Chains A and B, each alone.
Chain A
Amino acid sequence: MTNETNSTTPKKVPAIYPAKTKLQVTVIFFVVLGIYLFSMSWTQQQMAGGFSGALSNMFNVIEKFFPPNTAVISAIWGPMVETIQMAIIATTVAAILTVPLALLAAENVTTFKPLYIVTRTFLNLLRTIPDLVLAVIFVGLFGIGLFPGILALIIFSLGILAKLISETIESVDMNPLEAMRASGGNVFQVIWYALIPQVLPQFTSLVLYVFEINIRASVVLGLVGAGGIGLILNQQLGFYNYPNAMMIIILIFVVVIAIEYISTKIREALL
């Protein structure tokens, strides 16, 4: 008898998620969708012709970029090399400056709490400023040229690098450090013989990673007058010389991919 009723009336399967979670997820979904639709309409309000007009226009305009003018490559090779050199110098200087900062921002090395908190906050603030904004300010200060670009890259990569390296330092094995301290090593001896051997592979890998970031950043610094290939790109776009601009963009693309490939291979070999 009971078996029959069970087979005829489908047993109510308990839901996997409680009703409260379901409601929460639904509400969040609609809020996100609402903000999305609102932002889409906000960002399109100054656009002439609306979305569909823009899409059809896009293909007409993109045609203007092709074919890229390959003759220009000899003229843009110099600035491209300059861009890579900017990134090399900036990465090197940042890698040197980052050592004391990373040590100060590592909880297990800097046992003096206020100093650690101050360094951490400083690094967090540094990281919030975008690279091009730094470049704009330095161009205002030093005039147009390579120097403000390099300075902007240094400050920008310092924030990232010091944070990543301080996290590496925080994750090292503390036993060798303690053993050294116990047998009478001073702060510098502990850092030199116990910390550095543990951190060095990651340090090199992170520096290479930041070098990749700097290459990408340095190709666009010229847009605000801070040297490198971006300056030429900006000029060519200003003259509506789209085939030349396309060639520059392709060169940037190739260089970025090549450097990333090499850097990834080295980093894989290191770790």
Chain B
Amino acid sequence: MKDYSLPPKPKNSAFKKIRNIGILILVVAMYVWTFVSIDIDWGRAIERAANNFSRVIPRLFSPDWSATSDVAMSMLETVFIAFAGSLMAAVIAVPLAFLAARNMMGGVIASTIGKWILSAVRAFPDIILAILFVVAVGPNAFAGVLAIAIGSTGMLGKMFSEIIESIDMNVVEAMEASGANKIQILFYGVIPQITPEFLSYAIYRFEVDIRASSILGIVGAGGIGTMIIFASNNRNWNEMGTILLAIIIVVTIIDFASARIRRKIV
């Protein structure tokens, strides 16, 4: 006779049980704290929504075609901001990435410093940087370029340093052994290995920056965000519909193009 009982269950250790209960209590406490102390005026929000619904939603879906040329020009400026900003970032990120990569500058200290700089830069949201640059260089598109450049440097630097850390070091060692100097190693051993992936990430970042730069105008840093804030202040939801359509079209096209280029490179 065969015994068809289930195999024994793996035993959970007491430590695991206590840990799981602890995590559960923490999560529940967090939610209780959140939902008890947050204060949303539901009545007012619903009342406003009931009043505004017919004024906002239908007009959002009937774009104002007369604004097309203005919107197109602003969108073009947005693309320029993103392009200049991400190219600048791609250039600034390279030395920082070499500093942060563990296998390049030698020394754990240099790598740690580089990593700290990069994560500090990453912690600032783009739009906060834009606020700072608008105060510094005035409310114009160049403030947007600087904000995008600095904002993207953090992420690109991190990605680049990870790529550098993952290269095949045998090539570098072989070159060292056959007497190549540092510059030769850099140009013939390291750069050919990292270029395709660097380019791929830089193009991907351009994709992200298109989205980021389309809202910078909200704080005065140029691009289509300026029109967004005007349209919302004037309750001009038809124009907002046109703007939204422009953003969706441009972002989709650039996402598509960038995905194709990146597939070709890597």
Contacts and interface: CB of A to CB of B under 8 A. Distances in A.
Given A124-B252, A132-B127, A132-B218, A42 B77 contact: yes
Nearest to B240: A137
Interface SS, A side: helix
Contacts of B60: 137
Nearest to A50: B142
Interface residues of B, number: 64
Contact of A54 (B138, B229, B237): B138
A140 B52 contact: yes
A219 interface: yes
Interface stretch (B9-17, B80-88, B95-103, B104-112): B80-88
Given A136-B228, A253-B123, A130 B247 contact: yes
B35 to A, nearest CB: 8
B89 interface: no
A43 B244 contact: no
Interface string B228-260: 110010010100100110011001100100000
B228 A82 contact: no
B235 to A, nearest CB: 7
B145 interface: yes
Given A129-B248, A132-B215, A139 B123 contact: no
B211 interface: yes
Nearest to A264: B119
Contacts of A252: 125, 128
A242 B136 CA distance: 12
Contacts of A150: 40
A43 B135 contact: no
A169 B214 CA distance: 32
Interface in A123-147: 124-125, 128-133, 136-137, 139-143, 145-147
B123 A89 contact: no
Given A43-B77, A43-B222, A133 B214 contact: yes
A129 B247 CA distance: 7
A189 interface: no
Contacts of B145: 39-40, 43
A142 B136 contact: no
Interface stretch (B41-49, B164-172, B175-183): B41-49
A147 B52 CA distance: 15
B38 interface: yes
A153 interface: no
Interface size class on chain A is 35 or more
Contacts of A122: none
A36 interface: yes
Nearest to B222: A43
Given A44-B142, A54-B142, A140-B232, A85 B38 contact: yes
A30 B38 CA distance: 54
A62 interface: yes
Contacts of B41: 145, 147
A82 B38 contact: yes
Interface string A34-75: 011011101110111001001001100110110000000000
Interface string B126-144: 0110011001111011101
Contacts of B228: 132-133, 136
A46 B139 CA distance: 9
Interface of A: 32, 35-36, 38-40, 42-44, 46-48, 51, 54, 57-58, 61-62, 64-65, 81-82, 85-86, 88-89, 92, 124-125, 128-133, 136-137, 139-143, 145-148, 150, 216-217, 219-220, 223-224, 233, 237, 242, 245, 249, 252-253, 256-257, 260
Given A86-B38, A88-B34, A130-B211, 16 more contacts: A32-B87, A51-B142, A54-B137, A54-B138, A62-B136, A65-B135, A89-B35, A92-B31, A129-B248, A132-B127, A146-B40, A148-B45, A219-B128, A224-B232, A256-B123, A260-B119
Question: Which 9 A/B pairs are nearest by Cβ-Cβ distance?
Answer: A39-B80, A43-B141, A54-B137, A128-B251, A58-B136, A143-B48, A39-B84, A132-B215, A46-B140
